[in-house]
Structure 1
């Protein structure tokens, strides 16, 4: 048994020694070949060593076995011996055209900046030993085939550098081809070089930035640049390949609308790719062709929006109001969409025309010619907005009213190069015209209102509450009054507890509630549902509100608000802006007789029940105590 265990231990140690020996064996690795590279372009050959002993920074030596040298070895470059290169490489190593670059201590690359046809052959990467024993492989070889340069690139038209209007279209054409016996792919990239602020030198110089706009990659897919992806997704940048003469591919890039930051120097880049034996794509040739400079003239430098008439306009009520908006400085060669809006600020209710208030939209015309009206939709039947000519838009109100007073401005949003932009597309530029102040001559109107509660028996819950609003209008010409009834609830006092006292805090002013309205045209509107309410006109200047079957919720302070309406020469009614608020009338509802009789009945029944419960409890308690004493005596 002991002999068997000893044999097993010996076998285990032998196996462990063999594993350690092989794990520590030196191994040199280079890519699998053959590698096809193009004459005149760089060659980069990686070489790595592992399983070595000694320093972590290993030395490397490169040899070349030329195909036409009958297998003779030729020293190329070494990391430890400056005199290592053979004569054909000595000058190239000295100039840096042939060199070794380290990725790490045990990984390097042989770089030949410009391959020559006679550089073809088998390259050997050798690592001098730093190991205590000679184990493993100390070199590896890879075959490199140098193929002729057949990559061609050209363009049909260069950019002249003349300014191009913002929003104009841009088309760039680049032709490229390769003629190779090997299976290689061609990629095309359109890009731009431009200046950027923030020079690291701090001298105020411009730093050249290169941006890829769009490419057809080595797998023949269209790929937009990082800064141009959204414009590509929106269809504003495209790239297509066409078949040209002599087997050349013609690549056409289009921008539907150039932007100011599109200014710069444009280029076209063609690259030749090959799939290496390790299944990785390698760029083996590349040519870049400058197409020219593009300067984009910004729309803000030329666009101007005006409105007419200018200054101040005074009209009689009922007269037509005509305003014109003109857009100047739009480049004729740019097909742009326009959103034209008429905005108004202020009205006759302001202390001075246009002095304040929120600016509201009167009407607008979208780029596709659809007209819509702002908050006052009734104006759609009393006005129009039209495109009078190219760059001219008119707003017409057939019968101007006092509410139409204010400061009008034309607001134009330009979508440069986008005739029908989507809703999510922002405008290229928005400009506003100077304001046109419109005044309407109104009649002198004075209106008053008095609310009263007619005398009669005390108001009780369930009875009808009647309120009268008497108005007076002083003006010339026809006039009507529009009456609104409002109610304020009676607030409950707020009890505020102090450390030693209890204080009654005055309640906050309640908000009024609109109860009912009688419009100038006789239409009545009721705004609450829990009560039965009616409103009518008793005479020319007297209006009545009735609350039927009133409840506790109908209590409060009531007031009427009167608003005068006038009639224009065309028979249309308009707000004169004259208003009046009446006094407040308190409405309190008393309890009915039946409710008063119910109170003593409820109190009496409650008292009787309470007295009976007390008597029964007392008798029961005394009886139980007496019974307990009798049992104790026994």
Structure 2
């Protein structure tokens, strides 16, 4: 009887593994509006079909591959919003504080899901996909992951004829020594359409890569948002940084009391904001400047100046003290010996006379 049960259990497992191998899942993403402009709503649906899965449920994740490098996500893929098999929604890496509720993912049919993004920005350009996971009942009210599927990409692209922004970084000096002050200036230039200064603002962030070959992860230093709020990273050394706006299109980063840890390639990342005719602020694409190398050197003269002065001072004091000791010794000790010698000579002369 035990052998029969064991044989039945093994056949059940084989059937489940065979069914798992036969699971199929197809995901199709469809853009509902073929053309739209920045500021409008972007909509797309995720249509799911599966085979050989008994009463499946689906969880959906919307991802985006931005066309520009995102410093918060160097891999290029951002997880925006998800909906699990129990229809519980969760915002993943959506960190735009100005549009906290700007994305919506909802289930419209048993095998169809709709994603909407309100008030789109130029920075939202990229490829969007649906990542779907099929779940099957696993017994005891639990759900078992069956198979995953990835949809075709849906591209968001904006055809704009607006201004073109460029960014460059300049330093006030080429040679930097420990303890000195360094000024790095981020300069923004504008090409194309003229914009009123009141209709544009910028988010400026500074980063450093602690290598010459640009082969390490960037380190955040400081940022100044379009509202003028400065944010600085925590620092371990005694050096400090400050960030300020010194002109309409110029931002200055200061490195106070440079140390060896301030060595590396520094660059600024600028996010322009442009106000449309309707009074809506549009976020443009991020612009990254070319890096500039900050090489901190040791000033040999300054490094040995204080030890040299201390050494000379100590040598002078010791020399004067030695002279004083020698003078006192010759003044008192030698004088006593001379007096005793004179007395002895007088005694000898007296004896000779006798």
TM-score by length of 1: 0.39
Tell me which residue corresponds to 2:46.
325
Tell me how far 1:309 sits from its aligned partner.
Answer: 2.6
Contact 2:259 2:296 (C-alpha < 8 Å) held by counterparts: no
The count of corresponding residues between Structure 1 and Structure 2 is 305
Q: Where does 1:331-480 land on structure 2 (aligned, <5 Å)?
A: 334-344=54-64, 346-349=65-68, 358-378=76-96, 380-417=100-137, 422=142, 426-442=144-160, 443-453=162-172, 465-474=182-191, 476=193, 477=195, 478-480=199-201
Whose Rg is larger? Answer: 1
Tell me which residue corresponds to 1:305.
27
Tell me how far 1:447 sits from its aligned partner.
Answer: 1.2
In 1, Cα distance between equivalents of 2:105 and 2:203: 31
Of the three residues 254, 269, 279, the one matched with 1:546 is 254
Tell me which residue corresponds to 1:574.
283
The 1:468/1:587 distance shift into structure 2, 3 A limit, reads farther
Tell me which residue corresponds to 1:482.
203
In 2, Cα distance between equivalents of 1:597 and 1:326: 75
SS at match of 2:285: strand
In 2, Cα distance between equivalents of 1:572 and 1:603: 66
Tell me how far 1:394 sits from its aligned partner.
Answer: 0.4
Q: Where does 1:155-174 land on structure 2 (aligned, <5 Å)?
A: none
In 1, Cα distance between equivalents of 2:172 and 2:100: 43
Q: Per-residue displacement from partner, 1:251-292 (whole Å, max 9, x unpaired)?
A: xxxxxxxx95499xxxxxxxxxxxxxxxxxxxxxxxxxxxxx
The 1:583/1:327 distance shift into structure 2, 3 A limit, reads closer
Q: Where does 1:167-186 land on structure 2 (aligned, <5 Å)?
A: none
Contact 2:61 2:131 (C-alpha < 8 Å) held by counterparts: yes
In 1, Cα distance between equivalents of 2:280 and 2:59: 35
The 1:446/1:590 distance shift into structure 2, 3 A limit, reads same
In 2, Cα distance between equivalents of 1:315 and 1:584: 42
Of the three residues 217, 222, 230, the one matched with 1:516 is 222
SS at match of 2:289: strand
Tell me which residue corresponds to 2:268.
561
SS at match of 1:602: helix
SS at match of 1:543: strand
Larger relative contact order, structure 1 or 2 (CA cutoff 8 Å, min sep 6): 2
More helix by share: 2
Q: Name structure 2 gaps, 5 residues minimum.
A: 327-354
Q: Where does 1:34-433 land on structure 2 (aligned, <5 Å)?
A: 211-213=7-9, 260-261=15-16, 300=23, 304-309=26-31, 313-328=34-49, 334-344=54-64, 346-349=65-68, 358-378=76-96, 380-417=100-137, 422=142, 426-433=144-151
TM-score by length of 2: 0.65
Task: Name the Cα RMSD after superposition.
Answer: 4.7
SS at match of 1:316: coil
In 2, Cα distance between equivalents of 1:364 and 1:555: 40
